[in-house]
Structure 1
């Protein structure tokens, strides 16, 4: 009797890989040794936490700093690291250690996992990703450890420094400060603010961009992708900081009581963290409706392709803006830096954006049913945060019903692999039609 070999395409392998990591992590968090009450988390809450960690989101139903033992916290940190860099990157690391050759299929999976345009040099890039990650996380851990040592014993400060460096470089937003207060105690601290912001931005621009910047002194060249990512990131961070500063300037519960420099630091941090990181230095639930809506927009856009962040990505947003601007000007082509963007890229950007909107609308609608009596803006904020793997919350997460936890768990996983999977599925399955139908006309607008 012959058995047919089951072959999975790369997007399915990625989904199954993330799911397997989540289930293993959830099993660890249910163990008595993982929680301070020695009872272990109920499976649903453990699954939620493991999904949030693996999908580098940061939404939590229990406080990470007080509910988990060191074993539980380290398990969460490992899930953050594997989920942020992608399990295929770690699989490649083990292959290097064992002296195993990287097969063509594994190279394709690496390309999908890293959201790379080309397979050329993909193994070399994966090696550098591990080096870049170790470098930035080590520097961040060192600075934060020194700063935290002024507030706590040295051993605890080092542990906190490592945890928060890894968490924020991977855009996860988990913290150990306790009582769901994140980094609000350091709102006026430039060392903590600038260190965390640098980690978030570096992890969020994407490893392809980091690699090109690393090679720039030798090549003196930057790809169109890198130019767009850097420009979009800069503009979004600047605009986000300015508008949060203006919208929250007189809000007595957020920026109001702070000095002018404190207001600027807090506005900058909230603009940076909304790009899929999840830490916060002011109470998110205390922000004005206009400020919250701005955060929702920034969360939806998210980080950049091939990074540790989520959202529809900066390049997707920029491509759609370019298409709209070209239509307004009556131009046929979308052009950036004297390079024309192909129609297949524009269609892909539209597919990713509409898929993201459909997910958010569907889950928000369902949660208005499961979370009765909850403010609509709070539900929309939570759904967007989960989709974009941000981790910011207005305080709804710990109060979610079991059905709400299931919906947000699904949303975090879909947000981590959904848009990427849809984009590559569109690319992989695109076929040239042997004929064209007659052109039809419809009215638009």
Structure 2
């Protein structure tokens, strides 16, 4: 009798709306819940140094932190108390790793048994290839994140503790976690509101540590696992090879083009030494992909530089990382598909591997949806503040929001309430992924049932 009651209880429990939802839907809902909690905490008087943050601004800041973007309507150090900064850091950490990842970790730590649906959800969250690997990948993700963040914090303390005293410990921890999670938030507003890392443009050590943290978070956890096992296995998966090759290409090409275009600009790099210009170019190339920290005045950059940086922001980091954007592998698949077609092939070939057509379709869909989100929001922002914002600045800021980067040329501070709400949606889409968000909103239980249809022929090109 007791067993039957328990079975009936479990059956009723499974009939809840979350039980009928997909893993993608649950992940999206988890982010929304974190944003709601963050909004409440940031709007408390104890979170602000003076007065309290308005509801819309608190919602915008919580969304930006949870989506590890970094766009702000109030300078972090100037606006928030230690409590507010701690809330932001918690949102950044949860957003960077994902709420599902963290809750699953604590469930395993408490030795709670995970069911099939829990494992499926976890696998989707940590980008595991199979359910059997989900718990193993989870432990690796937490271990790597803790290791990198602790390492970055200690390295930064050597520079920041002598400068700020005991407070430098907190600044180092905040900066390390923000950089690893590719969040873009900082506590350097004491040197001037929204100054980011500009005060350290001549401090190559601080820049190098932050760059390493950004790159570590942006490459993806499983790539680091494969690198750690390379001496034993002597091989890398196709995914890891593509991520490493195209990330390196974008870092070098990005630094080269940014350096060439801003080399003699007196408002950005013109006054720096040759090593300083090279370092600033490399830092901006690495950060622009998804981290949102800057050592030069971005508002003073030329329009072509801003356009190039917008492209880098749109591309973003690697899958399974703490960064956003359409992802570097998505761009790689599309570029290499174009190359394959130009060579007369009927399919995409990467390193002598055939890429399935569904992967190519997904890549094209991600890019198209992302472009609509970024350019569509840019149009709305431009026509709502045309007197103060140029077209290229609107595109730059919108790509920053979609790529969850956080770099700003001053547009975010001028947004009205409607534009802020639009950017929140764009940031959320960029963090969970445009296709994942679309699936979570439109997918139905019967969507996977295929219908037999006649083949259609359309001429293109």
| TM-score bucket (shorter structure) | over 0.9
Partner of residue 339, structure 2 = 325
SS in 2 for 1:121: helix
Question: How many angstroms does 1:327 deviate by?
Answer: 1.3
For residues 430 and 223 of structure 1, the distance between their equivalents in structure 2, rounded to whole angstroms, comes to: 31
Pairing partner for 1:357 from 344, 351, 371: 371
The secondary structure found in structure 2 opposite 1:304 is coil
Q: Which residue of structure 2 lines up, in the alignment, with residue 168 of structure 1?
A: 179
Decide which of 13, 17, 21 is 1:8's aligned counterpart.
21
Residue 406 (structure 1) aligned with residue 421 (structure 2) = yes
How far is the alpha carbon of 1:399 from its aligned partner? 1.8
Are positions 1:283 and 2:283 aligned together? no
Aligned counterpart for 1:147 among listed residues 152, 159, 172 = 159
Instruction: Check whether the contact 1:370–1:403 (CA below 8 A) recurs between aligned residues.
Output: no
Partner of residue 317, structure 2:
303
Q: Which residue of 1 aligns with 2:251?
A: 237
Paired residue for 2:62, among 46, 50, 57? 50
Q: Partner of 1:32 in structure 2? A: 45
Shift of 1:246: 0.5
**Which of 125, 130, 144 pairs up with 1:118?**
130
Give the CA deviation at 1:424.
6.8
Structure 1 counterpart of 2:391: 376
Counterpart in the other structure of 1:389: 404
Partner residue, 1:415: 430
Against the structure 1 CA distance between its residues 391 and 427, is the aligned structure 2 distance closer, same or farther, given a 3 Å change threshold? farther
Moved more, 216-225 or 392-401: 216-225
How far does the alpha carbon of each residue in 1:8-59 deviate from its partner, in whole angstroms, 9 at most, with x for none?
111111111000000100100011100000x221110000000000000000
Kindly report structure 1 stretches of 4+ aligned residues shifted beyond 6 Å.
423-430
- Corresponding residue for 1:19? 32
1:227 aligned residue: 241
- Corresponding position of 2:458: 441
Q: Under a length normalisation based on structure 1, what TM-score does the superposition of the two structures give?
A: 0.95
Shift of 1:120: 3.5
2:223 & 2:432 partners in 1: Cα distance?
20
Using the alignment, how far apart are the partners of 1:194 and 1:136 within structure 2?
Answer: 14
Q: Compute the displacement of 1:121 (Å).
A: 1.1
Contact 1:274/1:298 (8 A) holds in 2: yes
1:352–1:423 CA contact under 8 A, matched in 2: no
| RMSD (Å) for aligned C-alpha atoms | 1.8
- Cα shift at 1:427: 13
- Structure 2 residue runs of 5 or longer lacking an equivalent are 1-10
| 8 A Cα contact 1:348 1:423, kept in partner | no
Structure 1, unmatched stretches of 5+, are none
CA change 1:433–1:90 in 2 (3 A) is: closer
> Could you tell me which residue of structure 2 aligns to residue 343 of structure 1?
357
* 1:74 aligned to which of 71, 83, 86: 86
Q: Using the TM superposition, give the Cα deviation of residue 219 of structure 1 relative to its aligned residue in structure 2, in angstroms.
A: 2.3
- Residue 188 (structure 2) pairs with residue 177 (structure 1): yes
Equivalent residue number for residue 199 of structure 1: 213
CA contact (8 A) 1:171 1:390 kept: yes
Closer/same/farther in 2, CA of residues 389 and 204 from structure 1, 3 Å limit: same
Q: CA deviation at 1:420?
A: 5.3
Residues in 2 aligned to 1:216 and 1:316: alpha-carbon distance in whole angstroms: 24
Deviation track 1:212-250 (CA, whole Å, cap 9, x = no partner) reads: 112222322211100100001001101001111101111
Cα distance in structure 1, aligned partners of 2:111 and 2:137? 17
User: Displacement, 1:371?
Assistant: 2.3
- Cα deviation, residue 365, structure 1: 2.0
Q: Secondary structure at the match of 2:433?
A: helix
What is the alpha-carbon distance in structure 2 between the residues aligned to residue 120 and residue 220 of structure 1? 24
Deviations, residues 66-122 of structure 1 (Å, cap 9, x unaligned): 110000000000000000001111111210222101221111111222233333411
Q: Distance in 2 between matches of 1:65 and 1:242?
A: 33
